[in-house]
A and B are shown apart, each in its own frame.
Chain A
Amino acid sequence: MNQAVFQNLLRKHQDRVFSHAYYFLRNREDAEDVAQEVFVKLWNHGNSVDENKAHAWLMRVTHNQCIDCYRRRIRIRYSGDAAVDGFHETSAARLDTSADPESEIELSETQQALLEAMERLPTTTRSLLLMHYFEDLPLERIGEIMGMSTNAVKVAIHRGRKSLKGMLEKQHSDLIGERIS
Chain B
Amino acid sequence: MNTLCGQMRNRLDGWLDGTLGKPEADRVREHLASCKACRKRLEGERRLIRELSDLPQLRCPGRVTDSILERVGAGKKKSASPAWREWIPGRRFWKPALAFGLITVLALVWKFNVPKTPKKQIPYSPEEIGQAVDAVKWSMAFSAQTIRKSGAQAIGVLSDRLPKTIRRSVRMALPADGGIEP
Contacts and interface: CB of A to CB of B under 8 A. Distances in A.
A81 interface: no
B-side binding surface: helix, strand, loop or mixed?
A: helix
Contact of B72 (A40, A108, A129, A161): A40
Contact of A14 (B51, B64, B79): B64
A139 B60 CA distance: 26
A74 to B, nearest CB: 23
Given A15-B57, A102-B61, A176-B44, A10 B52 contact: no
Contacts of B49: 133, 161
A154 interface: yes
A32 interface: yes
A34 to B, nearest CB: 10
Nearest to A38: B68
B80 to A, nearest CB: 12
A164 interface: yes
B65 A10 contact: yes
B58 interface: yes
Contact of B52 (A35, A104, A129, A158): A129
Interface string B36-79: 01001101110111011111111111011101110110100011
B129 to A, nearest CB: 75
A6 interface: yes
B120 to A, nearest CB: 59
Nearest to A134: B55
Nearest to A180: B41
Contact of B56 (A14, A107, A139, A165): A107
Contacts of B1: 181
Contact of B58 (A19, A129, A136): A19
A10 B53 CA distance: 23
Contacts of A136: 53
A176 B78 CA distance: 52
19 contacts: A6-B72, A10-B68, A15-B58, A17-B60, A18-B60, A22-B58, A36-B64, A43-B74, A111-B54, A114-B52, A134-B52, A139-B17, A161-B13, A176-B44, A177-B47, A180-B40, A180-B41, A181-B1, A181-B37
Interface of A: 3, 6-7, 10, 14-19, 22-23, 32, 35-36, 39-40, 43, 102, 104-108, 110-111, 114-115, 129-130, 133-134, 136, 139, 154, 158, 161, 164-165, 168-169, 176-178, 180-181
